[in-house]
Amino acid sequence: MSYFFQLVVSGIVVGSIYALSALGFVLIYKSSRVLNIAHGQIIAAGAFITYALTVWVGIPIYIAFGMSMVITFFLAMSVERIFLRRLIGEPIISVIMVTIGLMSILDGLIYLTPFGTENFSFPPYLPTTPITIGGVSISWTQLVGVIITFSMIAGFSWFFKKSTIGISMRAVSDDQMASMAIGISVPKVFGLAWAMAGLSAAAAGGIIGNITGLNFDTLHAFGIVVFPVVILGGLDSIQGAVVAGIIMGLIQQFASGYLDGNWGLNGT
């Protein structure tokens, strides 16, 4: 029976990672009705920035994690400003095609760095002895990752429901022309949506990198792997992304545990 509950715990861990990874898709689509195909590359960039600040610069991991989110926040905002701002009002398919091109550009840039060809691992910064209750174990890294994930998801949910800016972003998603008519700056909303998606992507990348190690192919593949989560949960639903992520995580872990071990996420 403990094996069953171990799979449940692992499924929740994996599912929370999927939910946080999917959050970037949801934030952009919720505000602009655009699918960012390059989201996986931004996740990878966030993980690599965290590693570089921690290991190469020597900044404590918790500070580096926050700095990575800030850097990726402005990086994603810059990407929107340079590549996508001029496409406001254009057909959605045109914007999606630009994000596909952006994905290729980011792939090429990352492959020019050591992160594109080598594997890296974060040094341990939390106790390595797992927490075990009733025969069910969870590592400290996984526990911290789950706490960060659900804290961020709760924060974004509150932001969209209660804050003035969040309500403005929802209004832009519903009707851009009407939003502009009442004084909402659509370009600023789009830029903020991309920046917030970059912030969540950096958090997801840092958590994934600490659990599974840093491998570019694994990290940027999350942009594709979590797409079914986004579809299942609803493209504009934060709560739906959480539920769908947990469902997908549980399915994956039970398939890994009872069918084929290759189904699981490395490190869980």
Give per-residue pLDDT as tens, 149-161: 999 999 999 998 8
Residue 51: give the domain boundaries. Answer: 2-123+140-263
- For 108-166, how does the pLDDT look when each residue is reduced to its tens digit (9 = 90+)? 999 999 998 889 999 888 888 999 988 899 999 999 999 999 999 999 999 988 999 99
Q: Is residue 253, in this structure, part of any structural domain at all?
A: yes
pLDDT at residue 24 above 70? yes
Domain count for the chain: 1
Radius of gyration of the chain (CA): 18
Q: Is residue 54, in this structure, part of any structural domain at all?
A: yes
Alpha-carbon span 268 to 138, nearest angstrom: 9
**31 or 241: whose pLDDT is higher?**
241
Q: Is residue 132, in this structure, part of any structural domain at all?
A: no
Q: Which amino acid, 115? A: F
Tokens of 84: 């996508």
Please give the C-alpha separations between residue 244 and each of 77, 95, 247, in angstroms, as whole numbers: 27, 26, 5
Q: Backbone phi, then psi, for 259, in 5-degree steps?
A: -115, -85
Q: Is residue 78, in this structure, part of any structural domain at all?
A: yes
Question: For the domain that residue 109 is a member of, what is the CATH number?
Answer: 1.10.3470
Give the DSSP per-residue string, 45-98: HHHHHHHIIIIIS---HHHHHHHHHHHHHHHHHHHIIIIIGGGTTS-HHHHHHH
Q: Is residue 135, in this structure, part of any structural domain at all?
A: no
